[in-house]
Amino acid sequence: MSFTSPTVADAPLESSSSAVSWGPIIAGTLAATAISLVFLLIGSGLGLTMVSPWSHDSASLTTVGATAAIWLIVVQWVSAGLGGYLTGRLRTKWVGVHTYEVFFRDTAHGFLAWALATVIVAGVLGSALSSIVSTGTQATATAVGAVGAAGAATAASASDGATGGFSPAYFTDALLRPANTAPAAGNQSDEAVSAQVTRVLVNGFVDGKLSADDQAYVEQVVAARTGLSETDAKARVDAVLKRIDETKVAAQKAADTARKTASAVALFGALSLFVGAFIASVSAAIGGRQRDEDEERLALLQR
């Protein structure tokens, strides 16, 4: 008696071709990138957004409001939707693939097209996006410099070895300050007196307030150099110190506003990217399904 082994049907082999169709993905990427750049230019021209494809056209962060955030979402919505839809419609039909797998591949292709377009747009807008991220830090330095730019420049040129806000020249001036300021101030040159007063004001700015000795010295110098009475000189010094404090507060407020605006723009930018990724995936699935349905209708009509 002979025994024969049962015949086992060969298992289907895995397809050697990749499930990723780069042709439709690149086509959708090009469409999404072009639409993004066009809409960003339109928004920049209409003043709806501070982001421009060209870094020198970017506006200040303080001009960004709700319209800019909405416009960024609209740009992502339109560009990602069109790019994803083209990605789905331009692919070839997958044969022998389950419906769920077709849906997954379409959404994945839409997501890849959105991701590639985002990378390209980010490369074009690299300098502008970098300025957004660093604006919060830059605003603080700008605000501090705005408080007394001219005085700080004079102090820097008149202070030897000043580092980290510490000026040895200021303490040297304090040591050599004459008991009777009026004759000494009258005999010195304008540059020397201005440098000394500037160092005193800068030191007071760093400490937050002028000391009583420094303020008395400044009042005496002002009286000696301007011919004002002690009362008028004191009033002028008080007025200038008040203006310095007001400028400092305004600069700090502007820096805080710039930091908050930069944070808001970053958050809305991330939200718009999430919206774009979702829209691109859904649009690709819709485009792929319509492509398959149209092919099925055409096949039925040809029968």
* Each residue's pLDDT tens digit, 206-239: 777 788 888 888 888 888 777 788 888 888 888 8
Specify the pLDDT at position 218: 82
> How crowded is residue 300: how many other Cβ atoms within 10 Å of its Cβ?
8
Specify the pLDDT at position 191: 76
Of 54-63, 127-136, 144-153, 239-248, the one with minimum mean pLDDT is 144-153
Residue 243 identity (one-letter amino acid):
R
Residues 262 and 137: their CA atoms lie apart, in Å, by 10
Residue 166 sits at φ, ψ, to 5 deg, of -95, 120
Look at 200 and 144; give whichever has higher pLDDT: 200
Q: Which two tokens stand for residue 20?
A: 């990723």
For the cut 50, the answer to whether the pLDDT of residue 154 exceeds it is no
* Each residue's pLDDT tens digit, 158-206: 444 444 445 566 656 665 466 566 555 555 666 777 777 778 877 777 7
For the cut 70, the answer to whether the pLDDT of residue 93 exceeds it is yes
Specify the pLDDT at position 175: 54
User: What's the whole-number mean pLDDT along residues 150-156?
Assistant: 41
Q: What is the mean pLDDT of the chain?
A: 74
Specify the pLDDT at position 152: 42
Specify the pLDDT at position 130: 56
Query: Band of the pLDDT at 55, cuts 50, 70, 90?
Result: very low
Q: Considering the chain, what percentage of its residues have pLDDT values greater than 90?
A: 18
Question: CB-based contacts of 163: which residues, under 8 Å, 6+ apart?
Answer: none
CA proximity to 49, closest of 64, 36, 34, 32: 64
Q: Considering the chain, what percentage of its residues have pLDDT values greater than 70?
A: 66
Specify the pLDDT at position 141: 45
Q: Which two tokens stand for residue 299?
A: 């096949």
Task: With beta carbons less than 8 A apart as the criterion, state whether 254 and 143 touch.
Answer: yes
Residues 36 and 234: their CA atoms lie apart, in Å, by 60
* Each residue's pLDDT tens digit, 258-287: 787 778 777 888 888 899 999 999 999 999
For the cut 70, the answer to whether the pLDDT of residue 54 exceeds it is no
Specify the pLDDT at position 236: 85
- 10 Å CB burial of residue 70 (0-12, 13-18, 19+) is middle
Of 100-104, 182-186, 271-275, 291-295, the one with minimum mean pLDDT is 182-186
Global confidence as pTM? 0.59
For the cut 50, the answer to whether the pLDDT of residue 153 exceeds it is no
Specify the pLDDT at position 184: 56
Specify the pLDDT at position 106: 92
Look at 135 and 232; give whichever has higher pLDDT: 232
Specify the pLDDT at position 258: 75
